[in-house]
Chains A and B, each alone.
Chain A
């Protein structure tokens, strides 16, 4: 069974940092692009970042560029999101997702259960 399990969320003050992790199992992790998608309270889904199979290319939504870094360790079947200079508007549920269909026509399947990030003083 394909499974994605996120961890690392929590309460952090504005300007602080947090590192999210995602443990993948049930598929050949090193052959898939991977993404992070978030949902702010009461809002819709927002794609945050993705990373190529070998980790040499990554892309970000404009609002997190320069603050967030996506990375992966294929030997550990793990995906990460390093979040620095956090703002209140970064608050939300962060989902780890597997990309299907290639880099430009990619869909997201499956989704993890999410890890909650709260940025507040």
Chain B
């Protein structure tokens, strides 16, 4: 069971918007640690999608956006494309565990 809670799956039609939540507690997200997001496509290495809650690395389309409030964070994907199908993970630091923690991952399916 992961310290950060994500929905197991979300789905949407091409062009639609999907949102993935990441819920933590006062030892991690609520303790003002930044949240980061990763995309893990089948057969590929994971890729950094969002860092510092809302910042996109160079090359990541602006269809991906991140936000954080209280003990939760969210990743939004707009204009959904077939190539977006894969697993998405949130990650942050946990002061109680003295290390990084990941969410359980969310599988995005494009209908």
- Point out residues on A near B: beta carbons under 8 Å: 35, 37, 44-47, 50, 59-62, 95, 100-101, 104-114
Among B83-101, those with CB < 8 Å from A are: 87, 89, 91, 93, 97-101
A95 touches B100 (CB 8 A): no
Contacts of B45 in A (CB 8 A): 95, 110-114
Alpha-carbon distance between A62 and B97 when the two chains are bound, in angstroms: 8
Which of A45, A105, A113 has the largest count of B CB atoms less than 10 A from its CB?
Answer: A45
Given A44-B2, A108-B91: A59 touches B48 (CB 8 Å cut-off):
no
Residues of A within 8 A of B63 (CB): none
Within 8 A of A (CB), among B8-38: 33-34, 36, 38
A44-B2, A105-B93, A108-B36 are known; give 6 further A-B pairs, CB within 8 A: A46-B102, A101-B51, A105-B33, A105-B34, A108-B46, A111-B45
Assuming the contacts A112-B45, A113-B45, A114-B45, asked whether A107 and B102 have C-beta atoms less than 8 A apart, the reply is no
* Docked-complex contact A105 and B52, CB < 8 angstroms: yes
Q: Is the interface of A mostly helix, strand, loop or mixed?
A: strand
Asked if B47 and A111 sit within 8 Å, CB to CB, the answer is yes
State A95–B45 Cα separation when bound (angstroms): 8
A44-B102, A44-B104, A50-B99 in contact; A106/B93 too (CB < 8 A)? yes
Q: Is A107 a contact partner of B93 (Cβ separation < 8 A)?
A: no
How long is the Cα–Cα vector from A100 to B100 in the complex, in angstroms? 12
Chain B residues in 8 Å Cβ range of A106: 93, 100
B57 interface residue, CB < 8 Å from A?
yes
Q: What is the bound-complex CA distance between A26 and B101, given in angstroms?
A: 27
Contacting residues, chain A, for B93 (C-beta < 8 A): 104-106
